[in-house]
Chains A and B, each alone.
Chain A
Amino acid sequence: MSTIVSSAPKKTFLERFLLVDLLKGMWLTLKYTFRPKVTVQYPLERESVHPNYRGILRVDESTCIACYLCEKICPDKCIHLEGERGYTKGKGGKYATYFYIDHARCLFCGLCEEVCPVDSIYHSNEYEAAVYNRADAIHDLRILDSGHNIIHYER
């Protein structure tokens, strides 16, 4: 085996004796001690999310035509809806009578948002959706339309 020659710059004896590179390292950490910190102190401060963020799903009840496309494309089968023909929209279209999304299963992939022909289902910017039991994670049409009850933690 041939000896391995290091390609690092050779240090003079004085540099090694006076621990120059150690001092350079300490200077770096000292500089960082006084720089602004990157911590976001939740819940006193919150990260802002960009507009494309896929948060909790919302459905605009007035535009939904109950085409079942979102239910069919959902990979997790977490959307369930039932539709009926009716005259509620003034032109005899279909409307959803029963719509629920299980947010505990939703993987926030955004496929239902992409496939909806009338842009009725969409991801909002909310991400604080923790619940105490699985039943509360199922959002029915009323919640999907008006937005779920967001609890902003203060402490």
Chain B
Amino acid sequence: MTDFLIINIVIPLVQIGVLLGILGLATGYIVLAERKVLAFIQSRLGPMRVGPHGLLQPIADSLKLILKEDLIPGSADKLLYIASPIVVVAAAFTTLALIPFGEGITLFGYHIPGVIADVNVGILLILGISGLTTYGIILGGWSSNSKYPLLGAMRAAAQMVSYEIALTFAVLTGLMLAGTLSMVGIVEAQRDMGVWFVFIQPIAWGIFTIAMVAETNRAPFDMAEAESELVGGFFTEYSGMRWALFFLGEYTAMLVMAAINVTLFWGGWLRPFPNVEALAFLDAVPSGIWFLLKVTTFLYFYIWIRGTFPRYRYDQLMALNWKSLIPLSILNLLVTGVVMLLLAG
């Protein structure tokens, strides 16, 4: 009985506690990393004053945002206005429960898995719950009862919904290779095949990467929050902690997408060359560290792209999706299917 309780309630609770604790802080530091990396690309230094090299900046920012006045515009729809940041953050944080951070460790005789919930339809759940962020954005734009947020929200919703199609087709191609929808199953399939999926499916990886940047409303696809054009886009009317919640949700979604990219195409928590015996000394590094390194590379990639490319105009954005990415991903799916059929039989 205690065994059952511990495995099914205590361990997940501990995992959730650790994850939420670390992730809250981590998202703040991703914001700092973005400011520093963008600054370095632009030949300047970024935050340097708060703490050594600006390391205490997120804490200063959080304190400031918490102490700000809580403003609800008079003509706003109160319930929706309050609910929309919560929807965005809740959707983003729920998907964190499905990501395998590592292989799992054994403590006190109990095996603590690297993922909080190893559902056998993991990827499907993640894509579904991430779609709920679109709801939050539409609610936010609509409830603000003002033109810029409304326009921003409509554009953002159309963009996110369209790029989800390209995203899903790219994911499908990876899944065909893995044969299972479970996140842990996908990583194990890569270990059994001995090669990361990105080397067999580079086109699918390329499409997924472009679609993931568009899905999370990041530059160069950030028309919805284009700071120079729509003031703040859908979160113009939000200030203080509510705005911080939107931001938190967006950066967590970024983290989740990077994690899916790593899990699906780059071997998750596997070390490089998982089946080569000569490199077995790399096994000494805990699997979580490999995962962290890979996800950090993708987060750097997100910021790098933001600092390099100009923003897509809205019609160019949609044309890219419907005229280039979706046909390419469907073609890729077809070709992969045909090749797999020919190789199997």
Complex contacts, B39 vs chain A, CB 8 Å: 37
B185 contacts partner chain A, Cβ-Cβ < 8 Å: no
The B interface, classified by DSSP as helix, strand, loop or mixed, is helix
A30 touches B43 (CB 8 A): no
Stretch touching chain B among A21-29, A55-63, A64-72, A123-131: A21-29
Question: A115 to nearest B CB, angstroms?
Answer: 41
Complex contacts, B37 vs chain A, CB 8 Å: 33
With A22-B309, A25-B309 known as contacts, the answer to whether A37 contacts B304 (CB < 8 A) is: no
A87 contacts partner chain B, Cβ-Cβ < 8 Å: no
A3 contacts partner chain B, Cβ-Cβ < 8 Å: no
Report the bound CA distance from A34 to B40 in whole Å. Answer: 7
Quick one: which of A6-28 are within 8 Å of B by CB?
A: 19, 22, 25-26, 28
Complex contacts, B41 vs chain A, CB 8 Å: 29, 32-33
Question: A23 to nearest B CB, angstroms?
Answer: 10
A41 touches B43 (CB 8 A): no
A35 contacts partner chain B, Cβ-Cβ < 8 Å: yes
Closest to A27 in B: B308
Question: Please, how many residues of chain B have a CB less than 8 angstroms from a CB on the other chain?
Answer: 15
Closest to B301 in A: A26
With A26-B304, A29-B304, A30-B304 known as contacts, the answer to whether A37 contacts B309 (CB < 8 A) is: no
Report the bound CA distance from A19 to B220 in whole Å. Answer: 15
A88 contacts partner chain B, Cβ-Cβ < 8 Å: no
Quick one: which of B291-345 are within 8 Å of A by CB?
A: 304-305, 307-309
B45 contacts partner chain A, Cβ-Cβ < 8 Å: yes
A37 touches B44 (CB 8 A): yes
Question: A110 to nearest B CB, angstroms?
Answer: 32
B44 touches A38 (CB 8 A): yes
Complex contacts, A41 vs chain B, CB 8 Å: 45, 48
B304 touches A38 (CB 8 A): no
Complex contacts, B48 vs chain A, CB 8 Å: 41
Complex contacts, A25 vs chain B, CB 8 Å: 308-309
With A29-B304, A30-B304 known as contacts, the answer to whether A38 contacts B309 (CB < 8 A) is: no
Question: B159 to nearest A CB, angstroms?
Answer: 20
Report the bound CA distance from A19 to B206 in whole Å. Answer: 10
Within the complex, which residue of A22, A26, A28, A32 is in contact with B43, where a contact is CB–CB below 8 Å? Answer: A32
With A26-B304, A29-B304, A30-B304 known as contacts, the answer to whether A39 contacts B44 (CB < 8 A) is: yes
Complex contacts, B42 vs chain A, CB 8 Å: 32
Complex contacts, A19 vs chain B, CB 8 Å: 206
Quick one: which of A30-51 are within 8 Å of B by CB?
A: 30, 32-35, 37-39, 41
**A112-150 interface code vs B (CB 8 A; 1 in, 0 out):** 000000000000000000000000000000000000000
7 sampled A-B residue pairs with Cβ under 8 A: A25-B308, A26-B304, A29-B41, A32-B42, A32-B43, A33-B37, A38-B43
B residues adjacent to A (C-beta < 8 A): 37, 39-45, 48, 206, 304-305, 307-309
